[in-house]
Amino acid sequence: MAHNNENKIPSRKKANIEDWTSCKSTAQMLRKARVDQVETAFERAADMKACPIGAKSACCKHCAMGPCRLNSKDPYAKTGVCGATIDTIQSRNFARMVATGTAAHSSHGRNMLNLLKGVVDGKIKGYAIKDTTKLNEVAQSLGIETEDREVHAIARDLCSELEKVFHMTEGEIPFVRKVPKKTLEVWRKLDIVPRGAMVEVVELLQRTHAGMDQDYQNLTKQINRTALVDGWGGSMVATEISDILFGTPSPVQGEVDMGCLKEDQVNIIVHGHEPYLLESMVEAVNDPNLIEAAKEVGAAGINLLGMCCSGLEMLSRHGIPHAGNFMSTEAVLVTGAVDAFGVDVQCIQQGLVKVGKCYGTKIFTTNPSCRIEGAEHIEFDEHNPRTCTDSIVKQAIDRFKNRNLEIEIPPNKSVGVHGFSHEYINYMLGGSFRASYAPLNDNIINGRIRGVAGVVGCVNPRVKQDWVHIELVKELIKNDILVLQTGCSQVALAKAGLCTPEAAYYAGPGLREVCETVGMPPVLGLGACVDNTRILIACAEMVKVGGLGDSIADLPVAGAAPEWYSEKAIAIGQYFVASGVYTVFGVTFPIVDETKFHTLLFKEMEKQGLGKWGLQRIPMKWRD
């Protein structure tokens, strides 16, 4: 059945499952779930129409004089009981989304910093600094002396410097040193250079209280400061420390899709975002005693797979197979083949527990910030990581021994190349003696490549899973635009087979020539959603190399999150816009069209020297 133009999901009664997802494996499992009478988010989304007032942020429930709905045809015809206008109401709602997304990434970054501190102080023994080159690079970029110094001494100084990213109450966060001069000048002129994340998030939230900041332009300044401390602060700390502790990714071949499950093995899935649970899980599944225990119950071995962004961290660093993105997390349980499903933080749907129960698969929560009623909680303690992961492996082995359901594993899997850190892109383009983005800039200047697009972000059951990602990326590479990817989008393209050098066949003649010369895919997977900071750094490097302009806003670069769902995605979008990038979202946008706040975000920010937002649901429309 052809997909309808608006890419709207039909109701459950009329639904053809092929309209819900482009992922063959997920579709197969949704069909099975229907037969098994198991409900998933796809069914719930089809049953529950999105509230049109909430979707446009035209309501406020910030106090008990309301809730107030400003849903008349003219959004300025009414105000809330307190007199709040549509611009106040929607900017406050948007601010809370940015604050929450920034808090999520910053918490991730702070946890990584605490881990590094523990390793340096000798209090955490199970981890070590793996990438001293990256440690030196990050330290030098922040003005820390590295020559003839011991690794832990450098790391200690780095930890003190990075502490400022979260707590500094005055001044500018350390990573602004990486921001191109002209971009930083614009931020200073607009007074949006951020202080520490804790300070900016608290400031933003207090301004959204009833009776506080009721000037949408003033509030947008604080929204920008907060978003920028996400991209150039909390998220960047998370990425840089993950590389220092676990190694900077470089290209690795990996398999993606549910066909990576193995019927004759104990299958363990790790889903979430923070890399230390999965790094410990990698050790646990390779422990000879646990492998022996699995064999004793008749399994051929232990098969570890990742999902969502945890999966991308594992795929990028270890080539460990990936079972699918966010909207496949319930569906994969329907195979009956998952013996344990371990999660940490973010994008963990509560519905997993119910689906898991139907197929005898336990969901193990491991982080005190993210527990789910009905899941088994085994707290992960970085001082003793294997206690948690060994326990999950042992319970998975028990479940394998007692498997009593029919197993159905979809036969699909794609092989691709992943792990393109910005350091590797530098090396890949310029070689080890002249590593540089210069060849990329040169190819843009000579017209072989017409620009760079970051296609990133989530999948959402309100649109056909993966479809917009795939069609948009195909269209972009056909038009000689190099595509950088992170998050669930990268998994969508990997399943579609576009993360391979052979995919250059689908690219326009200029991009194809560059890909064939370098031997790279036209679609470069950079990792998890927190690793969008790698795209920021790539932009900063392109400015530094020269020839394309003096600020990020001058570059022929755009971003898209065509199937976004989370508040983290809004924070990411806003930090790209505030950094100077034209950023287009799909699905919906939580602002009433043509209001003053809408005009500020979609038009006026660009005139201030920043980027701007766009909304487009149909991939082919990007051509216009």
Does 60 participate in binding ligand SF4 (rule CB under 6 A)? yes
- Using CB under 6 A as the binding criterion, the count of chain residues that bind ligand SF4 stands at 14
H helix or E strand, kind and range, residue 224 = helix 216-229
Pairing mode, strands 68-69 and 59-60: antiparallel
Does 487 participate in binding ligand MSK (rule CB under 6 A)? yes
User: What is the SS3 string spanning 475-542?
Assistant: HHHHCCEEEEEEHHHHHHHHHCCCCCHHHHHHCCHHHHHHHHHHCCCCEEEEECHHHHHHHHHHHHHH
Least Cα distance to 490 among 451, 534, 542 occurs for 534
Q: Which is nearer to ligand SF4, 58 or 363 (CB)?
A: 58
Could you tell me which residues come within 8 angstroms of residue 502 by beta carbon, excluding any fewer than 6 positions away? none
Does 66 participate in binding ligand SF4 (rule CB under 6 A)? yes
State which of positions 324-363 bind ligand MSK (CB under 6 A). Answer: 325-326, 347
Does 277 participate in binding ligand MSK (rule CB under 6 A)? no
Q: Which is nearer to ligand MSK, 158 or 529 (CB)?
A: 529
Would you give the binding string for ligand SF4 spanning residues 72-101, x where CB under 6 A is met? --------xxx-x----x------------
CA angle 621, 623, 624 (to 5 degrees): 75
Does 63 participate in binding ligand SF4 (rule CB under 6 A)? yes
d(CA 605, CA 600): 6
Among the listed residues 308, 570, 591, 601, the single contact to ligand MSK using CB under 6 A: 308
State which of positions 191-210 bind ligand SF4 (CB under 6 A). Answer: 210
Residue 618's binding partner out of ligand MSK, ligand SF4, none, with CB under 5 to 8 Å set by partner kind: none
Amino acid, res. 369: S
Q: Which is nearer to ligand MSK, 105 or 362 (CB)?
A: 105
d(CA 538, CA 84): 41
Q: E strands along 272-371, which residues?
A: 302-307, 340-343, 363-365
Does 458 participate in binding ligand MSK (rule CB under 6 A)? yes
Among the listed residues 136, 421, 566, 579, the single contact to ligand MSK using CB under 6 A: 566
The least distance separating ligand SF4 from the CB of residue 221, rounded to whole angstroms, comes to 21
Pairing mode, strands 582-585 and 266-271: unpaired
- Using CB under 6 A as the binding criterion, the count of chain residues that bind ligand MSK stands at 15
Q: Which is nearer to ligand SF4, 83 or 447 (CB)?
A: 83
The least distance separating ligand MSK from the CB of residue 240, rounded to whole angstroms, comes to 18
Q: Which is nearer to ligand SF4, 62 or 178 (CB)?
A: 62
The least distance separating ligand MSK from the CB of residue 537, rounded to whole angstroms, comes to 19
The least distance separating ligand SF4 from the CB of residue 65, rounded to whole angstroms, comes to 4
- Which alpha helices (H) appear in 319-437, and where do they start and end? 329-333, 351-358, 385-401, 422-430
Would you give the binding string for ligand MSK spanning residues 518-557, x where CB under 6 A is met? ----------xx----------------------------
CA distances from 92 to 104, 195, 211 (A): 18, 20, 11
DSSP state of 370: B
Tell me the backbone φ, ψ of residue 451, rounded to 5 degrees: 165, -175
Residues that bind ligand MSK (CB under 6 A): 273, 308-309, 325-326, 347, 457-458, 487-488, 528-529, 566, 568-569
Residues that bind ligand SF4 (CB under 6 A): 60-63, 65-68, 80-82, 84, 89, 210
